Chain A
């Protein structure tokens, strides 16, 4: 039982710390005005969303140097993207956007 207690305490501490950090750092939409028009909505989304190129630079470099898009073809990048999504625990959006960028830039 000692082990279970240790595990629970550690998880609670981590979850509390995580939620605190997230709550303090995330400002997405919290105090922003509601966009009135479709153009304004699109502009707001444009501001928030990162490009595939940006995600490619930020995400791949966390473990290894970001790969050159020219080194594989579109079909290969589809396979590699699925593999890396699972291996590096990427979000679906990160994985899809990086794949789109790599396929457009190769």
Chain B
């Protein structure tokens, strides 16, 4: 019994001492953090011949941040989406970054490309003021979203105005040759985990904030490669040059009792002309080529009456967006689309928003045929950042 008492006393005291050594509440030098965002919602689409309504399964995008020191960090974002009755998992980015000096940081791995600002800064659901991306982004879009490679980036304070820059090299895009998806022959595919040729893509962005209140930013991005096809294939020397112009204005205007937010981006894609093969139903083959130039544009205006007297009105936001997308004439994916989107948002907090949106899209051509299709959509989404 005596031995048991002594053992118990030692165990209690020992664990207290052990616990105290760990409960010093001193922050460790290395820090790990889980952030991210998620969204869910309801959509109703009417394209004339066809109507559909569906609740959307939650999309979940955790972001892992590991701060090794004040200069070294690893970041990664996964994306879990329920689509076409399947769970799709994607690696949005995973890169290591090191702050070389006050004006330069190096990143390596898979990172979001600074081609304009939408995909790098504005696409997450809790940041994007509308439930979806403008035309020209995402699947079959012309704006590259991420790449695997290395990047140098940084910013300069010019005594009021500021200048930021980014230059990078990545594996580059692959051109779809039409062997697997004939209707997509000539489209650039940017998500390539392995390079199939020696040509790399080189690009960068320069952003200028001319005013000392950082309210306005204009940017120019370029992305170029001398080869998009597989090595030793006839597409090996098919090069591509893309550029983007972006604009941002965020300013509190007392006369309007709120904050006005304007965003715009123009994307242009110019791919060297290549020859593709069209298979007819009777088995005959026919060669064809087209001038492979595409472009897209969007402009968005939003307004939050942050200086209103009512707490309810303060949390409202009104949004309008115009976007268009023009795919090359003569391509199987030839398309001219125009979209108008209007939205009313309610901000539950700085990182949680309920979005009600109406969108109308006119599409001429595209994958679905040669005629004109008008699609109206009603969206109710709830997004949260964490």
Q: Once bound together, how far apart are the Cα atoms of A2 and B224, in whole Å?
A: 11
Q: How far does the Cβ of A70 sit from chain B's closest Cβ, in whole Å?
A: 11
CA distance A101 to B65 in the complex (A): 21
CB-nearest residue of chain A to B248: A62
Whether A79 touches B33, Cβ cut-off 8 Å, given contacts A14-B220, A93-B157, is yes
> Which A27-45 residues sit within 8 Å CB-CB of chain B?
27-29
Flag whether A105 is at the interface (Cβ < 8 A).
Answer: no
Task: Check B121 for interface membership: any CB of A closer than 8 A.
Answer: yes
Residues of A within 8 A of B65 (CB): 79-80, 83
Nearest CB of chain A from residue B22's CB, rounded to whole Å: 16
How distant is A21 from chain B, measured CB to nearest CB, in Å? 5
Q: Does B210 contact A (CB under 8 A)?
A: yes
CB distance from A99 to the nearest CB of B (A): 11
Instruction: Please give, as numbers and ranges, the residues of chain A lying within 8 Å of B122 by CB-CB distance.
Output: 63
Which secondary structure dominates where chain A touches chain B? helix
Residue from the list A7, A11, A65 in contact with B347, Cβ < 8 A: A65
Contact status B154-A18, CB under 8 Å? no
User: In the complex, A92→B70 CA distance in Å?
Assistant: 12
Determine chain B's interface SS by DSSP, over half rule: strand
Q: Assess whether B31 is in contact with A79, with CB atoms less than 8 Å apart.
A: yes
Is A10 within 8 A of B222, CB to CB? yes
B250/A86 in contact, CB under 8 A: no
Bound complex: CA A90 to CA B160 (Å) = 13
On whether A74 and B27 interact (CB within 8 A), knowing A59-B214, A64-B126, the answer reads yes
A-contacting residues, B37-80, CB 8 Å: 65, 67, 70, 73, 75
From B304, which residue of chain A is reached at the shortest CB distance? A65
Question: Would you call A78 an interface residue if the criterion is a C-beta within 8 Å of the partner chain's C-beta atoms?
Answer: yes
Is B160 within 8 A of A28, CB to CB? yes
B220 & A58 in contact (Cβ 8 Å cutoff): no
B241 and A89 form a contact (CB under 8 A): no
Cβ B27 vs Cβ A87 within 8 A: no
Residues of A within 8 A of B351 (CB): 64-65, 67
Q: Contact mask B150-172 → A, CB, 8 Å, 1/0?
A: 00011111111111111000000
Interface size class of B (residues with CB under 8 A): 35 or more
Q: How far is the CB of B313 from chain A (nearest CB, A)?
A: 16
- Asked if B344 lies at the interface with its beta carbon under 8 angstroms from chain A, I say no
**Which chain B residues border A87 with CB–CB below 8 Å?**
120-121
Determine if B155 and A89 form an interchain contact, defined as CB atoms under 8 angstroms apart: yes
**B164 adjacent to A89 (CB under 8 Å):** yes
User: Which A residues, 48 to 106, have Cβ-Cβ distances below 8 Å to chain B?
Assistant: 58-59, 61-68, 74-76, 78-80, 82-83, 85-94
Known: A25-B160, A78-B67, A79-B33. A68 touches B350 (CB 8 A): yes
Quote the shortest CB–CB distance from A66 to chain B (angstroms): 7
Of the candidates B27, B153, B158, B243, the one having the most CB atoms from chain A within 10 angstroms of its own CB is B158
Q: Which residues of B contact A91 (CB under 8 A)?
A: 102, 155-157, 162
Proximity bits, B98-138, A CB within 8 Å = 1, else 0: 01001101010000001000001110001100000000000
Which of A10, A21, A92 has a CB less than 8 Å from the CB of B220? A10
How distant is A73 from chain B, measured CB to nearest CB, in Å?
A: 9
Q: How far is the CB of B307 from chain A (nearest CB, A)?
A: 13
The CA-CA distance from A3 to B255 in the complex, in Å, is 46
Task: Please indicate the chain A residues that have their CB under 8 angstroms from the CB of B67 in the complex.
Answer: 78-79, 82
A64 nearest in chain B by CB position:
B127
Return chain B residues, CB-CB under 8 Å to A76: 31, 33
Query: Closest 4 interchain pairs by CB?
Result: A89-B164, A28-B159, A92-B102, A65-B350
In the complex, besides A11-B206, A88-B121, 10 extra interface pairs with C-beta distance below 8 angstroms are: A15-B206, A18-B210, A28-B160, A63-B127, A65-B350, A78-B27, A79-B67, A80-B65, A83-B73, A91-B157
Task: Identify the A interface with B (CB < 8 A).
Answer: 3, 6-7, 10-11, 14-15, 17-18, 21-22, 25-29, 58-59, 61-68, 74-76, 78-80, 82-83, 85-94
**Selected A-B contacts with CB under 8 Å, 16 pairs:** A6-B241, A10-B220, A10-B243, A11-B206, A18-B163, A18-B208, A22-B208, A25-B212, A28-B160, A58-B213, A58-B214, A68-B349, A75-B31, A78-B67, A83-B73, A92-B102
